[in-house]
Structure 1
């Protein structure tokens, strides 16, 4: 925690560096603490870097990173005001919550899939299944497939991978389990294939437990978003802008060669429980430079869940009504003013 006196000094120095158009007339000691929910995956790296390299402090915000459960839990905690901020995947639970009027504000993208292979979120087949002759997606009909949950990006990603072999989710036996549990399931024959994400995908390969089967199924897909409690945003726009500016600084650093920095590998290792060497050279998710969300990709995922009967409403959810593009722009302007 920053002392009040240190926050005052930081605020004064920070304000002096701003142009009149970008200046934010809030004293640092007035900014509230922000608790942010994260998952121990490599795609959350910008938040880890912003915290440990002091970018949140540089922009005058006091942030605590806390591990979380699933997307539904994150949105529930945000909507109820039990937490200030968090990241979540685009999921049926989120779309339904937005339609019911959940009090959350969406601020920026958290991560998206790159347009290249290898993929940071491949569809993998177990080595055991491979040895038994399962070499294509079509071979998985009737087999057990690991999916992190019934209504999130993992489900969408697996469905897109199965399409490569002319299959649907209904053609396989869905087994819901988190990515860290896939290794044991692959080893004991509990799964023939499943969704994965870095750094777990690399670990499966390194341990000889799994192989990448499909990697070109989700090019450019929006993976997740940054959201805040809506009431918190209305009362603390300055703090949100500063948080996002720090996040964007870290994200740009990562997306422009930052993964080659040993300091960053050590930081991400501490949050993901993965050895730095295991993080070196693996594929990573990316972000738009300005943090903007590709709404076409989001709508494609929404339609997927509608076709599965997972949505409780007709038409499109009112994402535009809670997507604070104005605050994202202010964060970009603030970051630009610091150069």
Structure 2
């Protein structure tokens, strides 16, 4: 699934000036001077402040905090943020010791700018087939949507949607279009939050979009749109989000950083073995997100590798995509080994 990269001139997209934006936003976001877990890390066990988003994809963090943190002797303080970029900002400026981040241009640019942010483990994975959905104005069933998606050349010039620029969903849309014979240059792209894409699918405001669960299931349930492809049974899911560390904090507090990763690895093994839709897990999702457990259970499930492995070929393809889109602030590919630091994961798995 590799392809050649045509490096374009930089475009003035959201990612431009990422380091300055991160630092300024981070300083402004905490006017009362809240500190990270460093103050407690020297104490017994240690405390780690972790940024999370109130979505079902953050379940590995909920399981880590609620089931396994005490077992490894740490205290996990989960702090809700509004977006992955806010998480990156907070981690880069030491408001949080760790957090989640979608695999996207903001994190890549932060690494390029020398900020103390690295991905240290994958969080949730999934399939393009579960996210890509076609408007009911173009297809009245999954079978009809499959026919539309087989050759999307007739949709050139129409509007497609993802939730935000420079995030993994944008790359997923690019891959879906490529599968149907289109490119990002062939379409009009709009940034629409997941919930708002459902009515846009229903009224034909968008031809298709990339939606995270439970919204594709809701859209199919109310007839707004249909997924053209079934979930593969013979392919590995693609990594979508990851855990990030403030590396200054992690290097200063190696035991707490490793202990958190030990608890996180146990959570990943639990989810990989037992699923994301057991009564226990649905209760945690409801507790942290307010989502209806019945709706979550009816949705196509997220995934996480039990060994916390990541396919670097897939990650490289993401970075190449964002470079082609002009949302990176640099012109040469950064080795993925410089973006992902698995030292804490490896130490945790050894123990």
Indicate the TM-score class for this superposition, using the shorter chain for normalisation. Answer: 0.7 to 0.9
Q: Is the 8 A contact 2:139 2:148 kept in 1?
A: no
Greater displacement, 121-130 / 162-171: 121-130
Q: Give the SS at the match of 1:130.
A: coil
Q: Which of 47, 67, 87 in structure 2 is aligned with 1:33?
A: 47
Q: Is the 8 A contact 2:132 2:209 kept in 1?
A: yes
In the alignment, which residue of structure 1 is the partner of 2:213?
Answer: 198
Q: Give the SS at the match of 1:320.
A: helix
Once the two structures are TM-superposed, the CA of residue 215 in structure 1 deviates from its matched residue by: 5.5
Q: Is 1:124 aligned with 2:170?
A: no
In the TM superposition, 1:279-318 aligns within 5 A as 279-318=296-335
Cα distance in 2 between the residues matched to 1:252 and 1:232 = 26
Q: Give the SS at the match of 2:332.
A: coil
In the alignment, which residue of structure 1 is the partner of 2:173?
Answer: 158
Q: Give the SS at the match of 1:213.
A: coil
List runs of 5+ in structure 2 lacking aligned partners. 1-39
Distance of aligned partners of 1:219 and 1:325 in 2 relative to their CA distance in 1, 3 Å threshold: closer
In the alignment, which residue of structure 2 is the partner of 1:227?
Answer: 244
Using the size of structure 2 for normalisation, the TM-score is 0.78
In the alignment, which residue of structure 1 is the partner of 2:293?
Answer: 276
Once the two structures are TM-superposed, the CA of residue 299 in structure 1 deviates from its matched residue by: 0.9
Once the two structures are TM-superposed, the CA of residue 260 in structure 1 deviates from its matched residue by: 5.0
Q: Give the SS at the match of 2:314.
A: helix
Q: Give the SS at the match of 1:240.
A: helix
Distance of aligned partners of 1:216 and 1:142 in 2 relative to their CA distance in 1, 3 Å threshold: farther
Once the two structures are TM-superposed, the CA of residue 28 in structure 1 deviates from its matched residue by: 8.2
Q: Is 1:71 aligned with 2:88?
A: no
List runs of 5+ in structure 1 lacking aligned partners. 1-25, 335-339
In the TM superposition, 1:1-339 aligns within 5 A as 29-52=43-66, 54-113=67-126, 119=129, 121-131=130-140, 136-137=148-149, 138=152, 139-214=154-229, 220-321=237-338, 323-334=340-351
Cα distance in 1 between the residues matched to 2:42 and 2:114 = 32
Once the two structures are TM-superposed, the CA of residue 96 in structure 1 deviates from its matched residue by: 1.7
In the alignment, which residue of structure 2 is the partner of 1:3?
Answer: none
Distance of aligned partners of 1:27 and 1:157 in 2 relative to their CA distance in 1, 3 Å threshold: closer
Q: Give the SS at the match of 1:102.
A: coil
**Structure 1 segments of 4 or more deviating over 6 A?**
none
Distance of aligned partners of 1:191 and 1:241 in 2 relative to their CA distance in 1, 3 Å threshold: same
Q: Is the 8 A contact 1:49 1:268 kept in 2?
A: no
Q: Give the SS at the match of 1:124.
A: strand
Distance of aligned partners of 1:251 and 1:319 in 2 relative to their CA distance in 1, 3 Å threshold: same
Once the two structures are TM-superposed, the CA of residue 42 in structure 1 deviates from its matched residue by: 2.6
Aligned length: 304
Using the size of structure 1 for normalisation, the TM-score is 0.80
Q: Give the SS at the match of 2:110.
A: helix
Deviation string, structure 1 residues 196-246 (Cα, Å, up to 9, x no partner): 112222222222222103467995322121111121111111111111111
Cα distance in 2 between the residues matched to 1:189 and 1:57 = 50
Greater displacement, 311-320 / 164-173: 311-320
Greater displacement, 152-161 / 276-285: 276-285
Once the two structures are TM-superposed, the CA of residue 171 in structure 1 deviates from its matched residue by: 1.6
Once the two structures are TM-superposed, the CA of residue 27 in structure 1 deviates from its matched residue by: 8.9
Root-mean-square deviation (CA, aligned residues, Å) is 2.7
Q: Is the 8 A contact 2:41 2:256 kept in 1?
A: no
Q: Give the SS at the match of 2:310.
A: coil
